[in-house]
Amino acid sequence: MPAPLAVTALRRHLPASRLAPFLAEAGGDPDLSLALYQWNIQVGGAIQEVLGIVEVAVRHAIDEQLRVWNPTRGVEYHSKIRYTADWTTMPAAPLAGVLAEPLTQARRYAAKAAAKRNSNPHHLRCNQPITHDDIVSQLSFGVWCKMLPSDPKKQGLQQLWKHALGAAFPRVGPDAASANVTPEQLVYSRLDRLHNLRNRVAHMEPLLHSNIPARLTDAMAVLGYISPETRDWCGGMSRVTEVNNTRPARK
């Protein structure tokens, strides 16, 4: 913990509104509030390490299935152009509606990234064209959640799950049966909770009342639905439980 004078200086340069939740949690103790704020930063960093692995694994698993599914959709009604494995260029329904705005934004971000690397002659991909992978990597965590059917009434997304995305999570069945929910509902609910947590972490919001052990369970479960090996690797390197257990408390 910083010396008393340092605590006073830090509090002067950190917004009162930012520290207010931590001060309330600390019962008005300024030293404890700053310690809680420091813990919040540290546990957020540990969570982000895990969420980064989850996001990449989910993205890759879904992308693999969409590359197989998109060409099976035949030809686009108006243009008569055949759908290909590059679903980011011309996604079939229902992806076309779900991804219209996200893909436009992803292409824009991919173009900016390409311009930046093209300005560096030493970059390994200097002057290389924008690829499917470039665009996929620019799609946000929330987009992958939107592809999953959150409601049985969303028939298009239900069909997408049945014919494509269910295969991205091949080991979800036993958990879903135990929880008495459909596999798609279980994957969606876990990913939705992780997406909400990711947003809190990214914006440095208080995690004081977040159920961090439960969210770690969500993360490990989702990885396990895709690949037990990836789950075990991530679990072995995760610092979340260790850092969470260092949370300061009132004496």
DSSP for 3-53 reads -HHHHHHHHHHS-HHHHHHHHHHTTT-HHHHHHHHHHHHHHHHHHHHHHHH
Structure confidence at residue 4 (pLDDT)? 58
Structure confidence at residue 10 (pLDDT)? 76
Query: Which amino acid type is present at position 130?
Result: I
Structure confidence at residue 69 (pLDDT)? 98
User: Which neighbouring-strand residues pair with 82?
Assistant: 75
User: Which neighbouring-strand residues pair with 75?
Assistant: 82
Percent helix, percent strand, percent coil in the chain, to nearest 5: 65, 0, 30
pLDDT per residue rounded down to tens, the chain (251 residues):
555 556 677 777 788 899 999 999 999 998 899 999 999 999 999 999 999 999 999 999 999 999 999 999 999 989 999 999 999 999 999 999 999 999 999 999 999 999 999 999 999 999 999 999 999 999 999 999 999 998 888 899 999 999 999 999 999 999 999 999 999 999 999 999 999 999 999 999 999 999 999 999 999 999 999 999 999 999 999 999 999 999 999 87
Residues 6 or more apart whose CB falls under 8 angstroms from that of 2 comprise 10, 34
DSSP 8-state secondary structure symbol assigned to residue 232:
H
Structure confidence at residue 152 (pLDDT)? 82
Structure confidence at residue 153 (pLDDT)? 84
Gyration radius of the chain's alpha carbons = 22
Contacts 24+ apart (CB under 8 A), 79-82: none
Please tell me the distance from the alpha carbon of residue 192 to that of residue 145, in angstroms, as a whole number: 6
Please tell me the distance from the alpha carbon of residue 108 to that of residue 128, in angstroms, as a whole number: 16
Please tell me the distance from the alpha carbon of residue 191 to that of residue 141, in angstroms, as a whole number: 9
